[in-house]
Structure 1
Amino acid sequence: MPPTLIELHEIPPELLGCAVAIGNFDGVHRGHTVLIRQLIELARRHSGPAIVVTFDPPPSAILLPDRPASPPLTPLSRRAELLQELGVAAVVPLKTTPQLLSLSAEEFFEQTIRSKLKASAMAEGPNFRFGHNRKGDTNLLQELCQASQIELCIVAATSDSGGMVSSTRIRELIAAGELSAANQMLTQPYQLQGVVQPGAQRGRELGFPTANLAEIKSLLPGHGVYAGRVQLHSKEFRAAINIGPNPTFAEDRVKVEVHLIGFSGELYGQELRCQVLTKVRDVQRFDSFDALKQQIAIDVTRCESFEHSTTSQ
Structure 2
Amino acid sequence: MIIYRQISDLPAGLPHPVVTIGNFDGVHLGHRQVLSRVREEAQRRGGVSVVITFVPHPLQVLSPGVPLKLITTPAEKAALIAASEIDYLLEIPFDAAFAATPARVFVEEVLVGRIGVELLVIGYDYAFGRGREGEPELLRLLGERHNFSVELLNPVSNGTIVYSSTAVRRMVEHGDVKGVVAILGRHYCMAGEVVHGFHRGRTLGYPTANLKTEKDLVPCAGVYAVKVRLGDELFDGACNVGTNPTFANAKLSMEVFLFDFDRDIYGETICVYFIDRVRGEKRFPGVDALRQAIAQDVEHCRELLESATLIDCHTAETC
Cα distance in 2 for residues equivalent to 1:223 and 1:15:
48
Pairwise CA RMSD:
1.8
Are residues 218 and 115 of structure 1, via their aligned partners in 2, closer, same or farther at CA, if it must alter by over 3 Å?
farther
Most deviating of 39-48 and 142-151: 142-151
Q: Identity percentage over the alignment? A: 31
Cα distance in 1 for residues equivalent to 2:192 and 2:217:
12
Are residues 207 and 14 of structure 1, via their aligned partners in 2, closer, same or farther at CA, if it must alter by over 3 Å?
farther
Cα distance in 1 for residues equivalent to 2:83 and 2:92:
21
Cα deviation, 1:231-253, whole Å, max 9, x if unaligned, reads 12322101211111111111121
Match of residue 308 from structure 1: 308
Match of residue 211 from structure 1: 209
Cα distance in 1 for residues equivalent to 2:12 and 2:257:
47
Match of residue 87 from structure 1: 85
Q: CA deviation at 1:28?
A: 1.0
Match of residue 36 from structure 2: 37
Cα deviation, 1:77-111, whole Å, max 9, x if unaligned, reads 10111111122223221111111110111011112
Cα distance in 2 for residues equivalent to 1:65 and 1:25:
19
Q: What is the count of residue pairs matched by the alignment?
A: 310
Pick from 171, 174, 191: which aligns with 2:172? 174
- TM-score norm. by structure 1 comes to 0.93
Match of residue 98 from structure 2: 100
Most deviating of 168-177 and 6-15: 6-15
Q: CA deviation at 1:49?
A: 2.1
Structural mapping, 1:145-294, within 5 Å:
145-294=143-292
Cα distance in 2 for residues equivalent to 1:287 and 1:252:
18
Amino acid in the other structure paired with 2:43: R
Cα distance in 1 for residues equivalent to 2:197 and 2:120:
49
Please say if residues 240 and 254 of structure 2, whose CA atoms lie closer than 8 Å, have aligned partners that are also in contact: yes
Cα deviation, 1:102-154, whole Å, max 9, x if unaligned, reads 01110111122112222222211111211111022111112212322223221
Are residues 209 and 12 of structure 1, via their aligned partners in 2, closer, same or farther at CA, if it must alter by over 3 Å?
farther
Are residues 16 and 63 of structure 1, via their aligned partners in 2, closer, same or farther at CA, if it must alter by over 3 Å?
farther
Cα distance in 1 for residues equivalent to 2:14 and 2:287:
60
Pick from 108, 120, 123: which aligns with 1:122? 120
Please say if residues 75 and 218 of structure 1, whose CA atoms lie closer than 8 Å, have aligned partners that are also in contact: no
Question: SS where residue 180 of structure 2 aligns?
Answer: helix
